[in-house]
Structure 1
Amino acid sequence: MKPFFAIPGDKALEQRVFLVKEITQPYFSTEFHFHHECQLVYVVESAGRRIIGDNIEYFESGELIFVGSNTPHVWHNEQKYFEGKDKLQARSLALYISPDLLVEHLDPFGNVSAVKNWLKKAQRGIQFYGNAKTAILTLMQQMLREQDLPQTISFMTLLQKMMVTKEYRLLAGTNYVNLYSDKDQSRMDNVFKYIFRHFKRDIPLSEIAAIAGINVHSFCRFFKSRTQKSFTHFVNELRIGYACRLLQEKEMSMAELSNKCGYRNTTHFNRFFKKIKGKTPRDYKREISQLD
């Protein structure tokens, strides 16, 4: 394959169709961004909040996700990673793919419409699980030890497994479209970081609009056009995601749980939880207990 690659800021990735690497840092890059190259990420060791398109969830060690071309994303670690007290690390395996050259170099071998369709679907973000995740991860690890033709064969096998498996879920919404421009990235990065730090308390629109450097009306329109959801709904999704994490880890009363997640009373907490998760906090907790 003719090599080519261009992830901004990393010269080692230039001139490659695909590249696999291990990444170990005190914490993941906090920059909300998007790029033309696709990215397969296995989280070896880390935890925090993840945004892919209009999807926002908690992540932890062991997840495997493919991010399609030009899909906005960030893995943002929990605050304790930035404090440096517990010697935590953010470790991952990453496989980068140039989608244009992948299609270009597969084209002489036959119809590439299936590859194109899959790459388009991947712009919603794909999370793999089950036997598929195990097989894909094994191939990623194998590629780290290989070079040249053996590595290319492993890559093509991995690509095929990603395309044909049924053990996956799409993350961003069906109608999600990336409406960000390059100049939006810095503004939204500042906004997301501020929300992540302060979502457990009320954040007035005037306060968050000031972080974005625009007035309240412009901020509401800007935020919804980029994330495809209102600021209020976004914060509630973040809070309920945090509640789900607490329900998995700790025993506490509904009053204590709602307070920790930023709700003034359990009525509001229960209403938003059911709206977002489709079930009550108690039902969610019961299902988690049955899995254990």
Structure 2
Amino acid sequence: MKPFLEHIKTSKDSSWVLFDRRLPAIPFEWHYNSEYELTLTLNSRGQRFIGDNISRYDDGDLVLIGPKIPHTWCSSEDVCKEREHQALVLWFSDAFVKGMIDPHVELKPIRRLLERSSRALTFSEPVREKAREIVCAMVEQGPGARLTGLLSVLLLLAEDAGSAPLASEANQSESFAEATEERIGRVISHLHEHYRDEMVVEKLVRIGALSRSSLHRLFKRQTRMTMGMYVAHLRVGHACALLLNSEKPIAVIADEVGYGNLANFNRQFKGLKGQTPREFRRAFQRVLPDGPPARRAVTS
């Protein structure tokens, strides 16, 4: 299954992004970013998929992911039933690194840390606990204090002798021209919000402020797939999460992700995953039983 590009926007008062994501469950959304990503996952247990690594995660999971590495989390249960699953996600670009970090000799350990993030990194429990305090505090802080917090947590992670890589470098996705990302990003954001609905190309043309031919050409250049195939990946990705973490009938899941025709859902699911929805559900029950983390290849 090919990863989709997640488009990240910064606000006017910040050069990077802190996103506080709270959901009843974390869905399977196989994607990648152009930015560095530090994700702290709270009140959640399940599986995380990063490059060619599949591992279990628990409350307080902390991972630093370099640009272009496909990844997703997929929750199976919460820790506290009264609270939502929470992911605090910090995104910062290579331009931010070159402007803020590279010019300062005091921050060279961060540069080395980011170079190692090309394989994605996990961290030791003591460091995760300290980083958790810093990142959680940042949610209520203003832009200036958040920037200080970001540098503090990256310096903390850079000093962790217990950090370990997760994925092989071969799992990075190809880079794309930055000029294309902003224009197509609006279209991608719309598709993520409305993937269940019928895709109307004329509406996407208006959203992207492009001609019809330019939209198709630039979209395929950016994502390496057509818009129709991109929507199919979104729908199948959400279906994977429902198959793994619910007992809903397959026909109900098909309808929930936008397929009014069960046969069409089964055909597209098998085309992307190499197995039927029923086979997928059974296979993952065998692949990820209760027990220690497993390292397995993600199907492409």
TM-score norm. by structure 1 comes to 0.57
- CA drift of 1:203 comes to 0.6
> Within the alignment, does 1:40 sit opposite 2:38 as a pair?
yes
The 1:251/1:103 distance shift into structure 2, 3 A limit, reads same
| SS at 1:66 equivalent | strand
Residues 87, 228 of structure 1: CA spacing in aligned structure 2 closer, same or farther, 3 A cutoff? Answer: same
For the residues of structure 1 that align with 2:264 and 2:249, how far apart are their CA atoms? 15
Paired AA for residue 286 in structure 1: R
5 Å-filtered alignment, 1:2-41, equals: 9-10=12-13, 38-41=36-39
Give the counterpart of 2:197 among 201, 211, 233.
201
Correspondence 1:258 to 2:251: no
Amino acid of the residue matched to residue 105 of structure 2?
A: H
**254, 267, 277: which one pairs with 1:271?**
267
Please state how far the C-alpha of 1:276 moved relative to its aligned partner: 2.7
| Counterpart among 125, 132, 155 of residue 141 in structure 1 | 132
Partner residue, 2:232: 236
8 Å contact 2:66–2:114 — kept in the other structure? no
d(CA) in 1 for partners of 2:162 and 2:97?
A: 14
Percent of aligned pairs with the same residue? 19
Q: State how far apart, in whole Å, the 2-side matches of 1:237 and 1:266 are.
A: 16
Question: What pairs with 1:58-69 in structure 2 (closer than 5 Å)?
Answer: 64-68=62-66
Contact 2:131 2:156 in 1 (8 A): no
In structure 2, what is the Cα distance between the partners aligned to 1:136 and 1:156?
11
Q: Post-superposition shift, 1:158?
A: 1.9
Give, in angstroms, the shift of residue 217 of structure 1. Answer: 1.6
What amino acid is aligned across from residue 137 of structure 1 in structure 2? Answer: R
Residues 261 and 227 from structure 1, CA distance in 2 versus in 1: closer, same or farther, beyond 3 angstroms? same
Residue 282 of structure 2 corresponds to residue 286 of structure 1: yes
Q: Counterpart of 1:202 in 2: which secondary structure?
A: coil
Distance 2:87 2:107 in 1: 35
Q: AA paired with 1:277? A: K
Once the two structures are TM-superposed, the CA of residue 105 in structure 1 deviates from its matched residue by 2.3
Retained in 1: the 8 A contact 2:124–2:162?
Answer: no
Contact kept, 8 Å, 2:251 with 2:262, in 1: the verdict is yes
| Counterparts of 2:282 and 2:21, CA distance in 1 | 37
Kindly provide the amino acid, as one letter, of the partner of residue 279 in structure 1. Answer: Q
Structure 1 SS opposite 2:198: coil
Change in Cα spacing, 1:280 to 1:137, as seen in structure 2 (3 Å) is farther
Partners of 2:42 and 2:185 lie apart in 1 by 24
In 1, Cα distance between the equivalents of 2:266 and 2:42?
34
Question: Alignment RMSD, CA only?
Answer: 5.0
Residues 266 and 154 from structure 1, CA distance in 2 versus in 1: closer, same or farther, beyond 3 angstroms?
Answer: closer
Choose between structure 1 and 2 for higher RCO, CA contacts under 8 A separated by at least 6 residues.
Answer: 2
- Whether 1:165 and 2:156 are equivalent positions in the alignment is no
Q: 1:222 maps to which residue?
A: 218
Q: Quote how far apart the aligned CAs of 1:252 are.
A: 3.0
- Equivalent-residue separation in structure 1 for 2:203 and 2:161 (angstroms): 43
Whole-angstrom CA distance in 2 between matches of 1:190 and 1:178: 16
Asked if 1:249 corresponds to 2:275, the answer is no
Contact 1:26 1:90 survives alignment (8 Å):
yes
Which residue in 2 is equivalent to 1:105?
105
Structure 1, unaligned stretches of length 5 or more? Answer: 1-6, 15-20, 28-32, 47-51, 53-59, 76-85, 146-150
Aligned to 1:78: none
Aligned-pair distance for 1:94? 4.2
Distance 1:194 1:172, change over 3 A: farther
Letter in structure 2 aligned against 1:273? F
Distance in 1 between the 2:113 and 2:121 partners?
Answer: 18
Q: How many residues align?
A: 233
Selected match of 1:118 from 116, 119, 142: 116
SS at match of 1:42: strand
Q: TM-score, normalised by structure 2?
A: 0.56
